[in-house]
Structure 1
Amino acid sequence: MRRSPLLAAGAAVLAVLASVGLHLAPQADAAVVQATFAHPGVLLSRAQLDFVKGKVAAGEQPWAAANSQMMASRYAALSRTPAPRAVVECGSYSNPNNGCTDEREDAIAAYTDALAWYITGNAAYAQKSIALMDAWSATITSHTNSNAPLQTGWAGSVWPRAAEIIRYTYSSWPNQARFATMLRTVYLPTVIAGSSSNGNWELSMMEAAVGIAVFLDDRASYDRAITRFKARAAAYVYVTADGSQPKYPPVGNVDTRAELISYWQGQSTFVDGLAQESCRDFVHTGYGISAIAHVAETTRIQGADLYPELQDRLRHSLGFHTKFENGTAVPSTICGGSVTKGFGPVTEVAFNALHNRLGIAMSNTQTYTESRRPQGTNNLFVAWETLTHAGNPA
């Protein structure tokens, strides 16, 4: 539907106000407010950042320990030297690895430094975050080889988290526009196109597309990414309400039951929470579940919360996988009675949203999450989520 001239004018006024740091009160016309984005607003809001800063300053747990873990990591080192490349070449399982690890870890370092800046107030961390982002925005032109879409999604998920914090909480970033151009030209065209590969690929790519769209204030790309994300999330995790089998993926050639069973790693018995890659391994499944939670968290910040729509898939999938991680025997009907564990540090965001905010009992997930605090980083695109999201009510 075409917006009225009045509504369009209102959105334009809001954009001007936002550019100078002014925002309408929450009771402003929702039809106008939806045309703008909240900043910082990729995975973390300012209110969430303030909560974390307060808990760390007070020495409260688990935030103090999580902050110490982050600050002691190599990612927080002010001596870090960025290692940008014009062309990042990533083959299957990062072989060859020409800049793949460097790109991902520089992005995590930029995000780590942005968090450290906000928590400590030490401008040296903001400047290091900017130096890392500037080095890459001055250099990179493309990603190549078979893992290029996934690599673009992983790095592209993390860069906007750092950029949002720096842009909206630090005083000066002269090369901000060049960084935005990098996201728009090097990352966004690849990730927003999606993937017909295993579901964790497309979920990570949609996470990147959503975060980049927020940073760019690009409503059209945001809406496009959310549409594909919702379809892929629904096809990645099975719940009984889906019927006798999971939903078919939104793209690709999987459109018969036999093809679906093959795509689900040979699994033909479907139970609540089983994911498309559960019988492959829990590591890759954790990537997909984490990306679902990250996008949901960003949508909540942006005022169109997807957690209610996703809560059954997320709670069942977290419970299903953490149950086995916690030691429950795997029945013969699940993956032939054997699974490859390694879910990773991926539960804090969704556990906080579903258990603490929505009041859903999640005993298996709670045991897993609390026993592994502080959850650190997977060195790909997940980082410091005990620090940022444990018990965070904002």
Structure 2
Amino acid sequence: MSVTDGIQVPNGPDSPDGGANGPSGSQSGGFVHPGVLVSRPQLDFVRGKVEAGEQPWKAAYDQMIKSPYASPRRVPRPRAEVECGSHSNPDHGCRDEREDAIAAYTNALAWYLSKDERYAAKAIEIMDAWSGRIARHTNSNAPLQAGWAGSVWPRAAELIRHTYSRWSGADRFAGMLRTVYLPQVAVGSSANGNWELSMMEAAIGISVFLDDRDAYDEFVDRYLDRVRAFIYLKSDGDLPKTVSGGGAQSRSGIINYWQGQSTFVDGLSQETCRDFVHTGYGIAAIAHVAETSRIQGRDLYPQVGERLRKALGFHSVYQRGEPAPSWLCNGKLNLGLGPVTEIGFNAMSNRLGERMPNTQALTERQRPAGSNNLFVAWETLTHAGNPS
């Protein structure tokens, strides 16, 4: 491959865009708590920056606090059955569930960073409302819906359970995660890669909250398998890797699964030629799991970091406005990567010292990164320049 400022074309060298020890924390069952996506030392770093009025953390904090997710007037809207069809049609509780999960996480973050107990109480109100009501997810998007909401609930629950002393409903919430969410996401998916990546993010976060080491290890292995099948590296060979034990195996089948793309370059995603929105979902889930596992002492960046770095660099080039060459998706790209670059950029560039000029430019342009209203939220606040 040849590269010009991160743009790859057939026949020439690599893109310029493409660990660490886990932090200390309370231990239970071998897990660090709080330890889903964010850790105590990480948030202590953020709190210091916010209190000092330093940027971009102060602006990111203000953005979060002023959002509807942090509103003291927010009323949770739980349902016994959340029914989600394709593209959330029908939407019977789908958006409500996802946004209540984000609101719980938002308030949990606000509690830890401000020490204002009203935020902790609101997070608990939302989590208790759902754990006392929901029983199932149904219709065609049920696994993805459970993956999105199930990725966010454990972040909120970890922060409240392990930094706030007055949550009597924690065990019931754990039961909800174990019986309603985990069975739905544990089965995996043969759909587009962002589905299973989000499902594995949820499964891994839930496993941490439940202190279930066997489940955690199983889901990490499945995650690693899916990452290899979602982002291509030239070291994979002429064709992308496929999911172990399934998926298309013939050249034509693989090309069809990769949205008709037949030229493969470092950082290309299985969904690049579908659109950048869904590609961004997959990239976000990859980064989220890598962060959680790093906190838990099993650093996955040596295994997924290069794919993540190359994917971020490759897509950042075009998201910033570079026209697509004719060999890429027939010269037509559907953009919309979303606020998904901050975590991978911090991990690979700030912590590990990799050069990522295109990802950096896009990340800084998008700051402060907010929420995609699905399962990504406040990642400039939690991860910008964060060494912990």
TMscore range, shorter length = over 0.9
Query: Following superposition, which runs of at least 4 residues in structure 1 exceed 3 angstroms of deviation?
Result: 250-253
Q: Is this contact kept in 2: 1:245–1:270, CA < 8 A? A: yes
Distance 1:193 1:218 in 2: 17
Structure 1 gap segments, 5+ residues each? 1-17, 24-32
Which residue of 95, 102, 110 corresponds with 1:101?
Answer: 95
Q: What one-letter code is carried by the residue in structure 1 that aligns with 2:248?
A: V
| 1:334 counterpart = 2:308 | no
| 1:45 counterpart = 2:19 | no
Q: What is the aligned partner in structure 1 of residue 262 from structure 2?
A: 268
Q: Is this contact kept in 2: 1:195–1:251, CA < 8 A? A: no
Which residue of 365, 384, 388 corresponds with 1:371?
Answer: 365
Instruction: Please list, as runs of the form range in 1=range in 2, the aligned pairs for 1:196-275 lying within 5 A after superposition.
Output: 196-250=190-244, 252-275=246-269
User: What's the CA shift for 1:249?
Assistant: 2.3
| 1:278 counterpart = 2:310 | no
Q: Secondary structure at the match of 2:83?
A: strand
Tell me the TM-score normalized by structure 1: 0.91
Distance 2:117 2:269 in 1: 43
Q: Secondary structure at the match of 2:137?
A: strand
Instruction: Please list, as runs of the form range in 1=range in 2, the aligned pairs for 1:277-316 lying within 5 A after superposition.
Output: 277-316=271-310
Instruction: Please list, as runs of the form range in 1=range in 2, the aligned pairs for 1:140-179 lying within 5 A after superposition.
Output: 140-179=134-173
Q: What is the aligned partner in structure 1 of residue 379 from structure 2?
A: 385
User: What's the CA shift for 1:251?
Assistant: 5.2
| 1:317 counterpart = 2:322 | no
Question: 1:164-207: CA deviations, max 9, x gaps?
Answer: 00001001110100000000000001111110000000000000
Q: Is this contact kept in 2: 1:108–1:379, CA < 8 A? A: yes
User: What's the CA shift for 1:372?
Assistant: 0.8
Higher strand share: 2
Q: Is this contact kept in 1: 2:204–2:219, CA < 8 A? A: yes
Higher RCO (C-alpha 8 Å, min separation 6) = 2
User: What's the CA shift for 1:347?
Assistant: 0.5
User: What's the CA shift for 1:253?
Assistant: 3.9
Q: What one-letter code is carried by the residue in structure 2 that aligns with 1:393?
A: P
Count how many residue pairs are aligned between Structure 1 and Structure 2: 365
Q: Is this contact kept in 2: 1:90–1:96, CA < 8 A? A: yes
Tell me the TM-score normalized by structure 2: 0.93
Q: What is the aligned partner in structure 1 of residue 179 from structure 2?
A: 185
Distance 1:55 1:284 in 2: 32
CA RMSD of aligned residues (A): 1.2
Question: 1:298-340: CA deviations, max 9, x gaps?
Answer: 1100001101111110111000000001111211110001100
Q: Is this contact kept in 1: 2:26–2:33, CA < 8 A? A: no
Q: Secondary structure at the match of 1:38?
A: strand
User: What's the CA shift for 1:122?
Assistant: 0.4
Q: What is the aligned partner in structure 1 of residue 111 from structure 2?
A: 117
Q: Secondary structure at the match of 1:88?
A: strand
Distance 2:349 2:201 in 1: 22
Q: Secondary structure at the match of 1:89?
A: strand
